[in-house]
Amino acid sequence: MKFVADESIDAPIFQKLRENGFDTFSIAEQCPGIRDERVLAIAHESASLLITQDKDFGELVHRLGKAHHGVVLLRMDGLSPYEKADHCLKEIHRHRDELPGAFTVINKNATKIRKRPW
Query: pTM of this prediction?
Result: 0.95
Query: Which run of H or of E encompasses 51?
Result: strand 49-52
Q: What is the side-by-side order of every strand in the sheet holding 71-75?
A: 23-26, 2-5, 49-52, 71-75, 103-107, 111-114
Cα separation, 4 vs 7, whole angstroms = 10
Sequence-distant (≥ 6) Cβ neighbours of residue 29 within 8 angstroms: none
| Segment 48-85, tens digit of pLDDT | 999 999 999 999 999 999 999 999 999 999 999 999 99
For residue 25, the number of C-alpha atoms closer than 13 Å in the C-beta half-sphere is: 19
- Using one digit for the tens of pLDDT, what is the confidence trace for 14-57? 999 999 999 999 999 999 999 999 999 999 999 999 999 999 99
